[in-house]
Amino acid sequence: MEGLANLSDLNPAEIEQTKLLASYITWRGYPEETGMTAEWLFVSFGMPAIIGIVAYTAYRLHEWDLDRKHKPRQPGE
């Protein structure tokens, strides 16, 4: 499509494809144009937070399990 003077140089299928692409770009937006998108924020902050919470919980459960196995039991526990 390089070197086209205007849309009249395109056939109808190419015009429709160009319109669809333009509408998608307008709807989706680019991070440079729209600032931080929700997806960018989630991937940058949400996912590491979720992974950290899961890792911390797994670590604490593992510590608790080790303590439970190796701690001498008293009667009535």
What is this structure's pTM?
0.44
pLDDT at 13: 76
Give the mean pLDDT of the chain: 75
Residue 2 and residue 58: Cα distance in Å, rounded? 55
Domain positions in the chain? 9-70
Q: What is the 3-state secondary structure (H, E, C) of 23-72?
A: HHHHHHCCHHHHCCCHHHHHHHHHHHHHHHHHHHHHHHHHHHHHHHHHCC
In angstroms, the Cα distances linking 6 to 3, 9, 11 are 9, 6, 11
> Which residues of the chain register pLDDT less than 50?
1
